Amino acid sequence: MIRTIIFWAIVAPHTMLYSVLVFIVAPFDRSGEIVLRLCRSWSRAILRLAGARVTVEGGENIDVNTPRIFVSNHQSYFDVFALMAFLPGNARFVAKKSLEYIPFFGQAMRAAGTVILDRNRPERAREELMHGARKNLTAIRGVVIFPEGTRSRDGSLGQFKLGGFMLAIQAQVPIIPVAVTGSRDIMSADSFQVRPGAIRIRIGKPIPTHGLSHDDRHKLMENVRDEVESLLKNGAAAAMAA
């Protein structure tokens, strides 16, 4: 409990400072590299403070010189910190609209190019995803999507939503499956208590979408979900063997 109190007491002002810096820098940072460095620094500081150790496997599967969509499972807010800190290349996240209402942080998210979706307005959310994510892809950045739509309460992989797969087909960019394990042990979806632990990021091989059409969206979603599930199982087996 003491660790959790200290963690949040430091994270709150730390986040405010970085949010202000991102908000100021973003309009002048055409490449997005300065914003990326600020976001990485913020995330790594949070991970260190929580006592979270992160390892990455499969980084060679990412071509940072081409646009791509990362599709990851989602168990904890620490998924975001780990991916933001250690995912190779320049990437932006898709986030829920409620985060936009956090003072300073919400404004910084917008400025940094985060794609913010309003779940209560599905039609509008699809438009925002297609427009905002395509803008990042055009700038040769990655887009990180959590297709379950929310954090898993029990650690199992939930059902996927179609939006990200429709985007990948429309943009004709590859999807890179990602599995994050260990983050739920650091902070679960139903708690703000923080515990030290190890996070493992496993990156799969790109799944091409070239030549696919709108009619292929369900099959693509199933294929990607199978790959993420396989990465999760392999990651869990490796963790038990370690």
Statement: residue 123 has pLDDT above 90: no
Q: Which H/E stretch holds residue 9?
A: helix 2-25
Fold of 2-241: Glycerol-3-phosphate (1)-acyltransferase (3.40.1130)
User: Which residues, at least 6 apart from 220, have a Cβ–Cβ distance to it below 8 Å?
Assistant: 165, 168, 169, 175, 207, 209, 212
Token pair for 174:
């590859």
Statement: residue 125 has pLDDT above 80: no
> In 73-141, where do the E strands start and end?
91-96, 115-117
Is the alpha carbon torsion for 97, 177, 223, 232 positive or negative?
negative
Q: Which H/E stretch holds residue 180?
A: strand 175-181
User: Which residues, at least 6 apart from 100, have a Cβ–Cβ distance to it below 8 Å?
Assistant: 106, 109, 110, 116
Q: With bands split at pLDDT 50, 70 and 90, how would you rate the model's confidence at 238?
A: low
pLDDT in tens, 73-84: 999 999 999 999
Statement: residue 241 has pLDDT above 70: no
Between 70 and 30, the more confident residue is: 70
pLDDT of residue 208: 96
Statement: residue 237 has pLDDT above 60: no
Token pair for 44:
């790594």
Query: In this structure, what DSSP letter does residue 207 have?
Result: B
Statement: residue 92 has pLDDT above 70: yes
60-74, 126-140, 174-188, 217-231: least confidently modelled range: 126-140
Statement: residue 218 has pLDDT above 80: yes
Q: Are 76 and 187 in contact (CB under 8 A)?
A: yes
Domain boundaries, the chain: 2-241
pLDDT in tens, 97-109: 888 888 888 889 8
| Burial of 159 (C-beta count, 10 Å sphere; 0-12/13-18/19+) | exposed
pLDDT of residue 2: 85
pLDDT of residue 113: 87
Percent with pLDDT over 90 in the chain: 67
pLDDT in tens, 4-29: 999 999 999 999 999 999 999 999 99
Encode burial over 90-126: b for 16+ CB neighbours within 10 A, e otherwise.
bbbbbbebeeeeeeebbbbbebbbbbbbeeeeeeebe
Q: Which H/E stretch holds residue 52?
A: strand 52-57
pLDDT of residue 128: 78
Average pLDDT over residues 36-51: 95
Q: Are 113 and 174 in contact (CB under 8 A)?
A: no
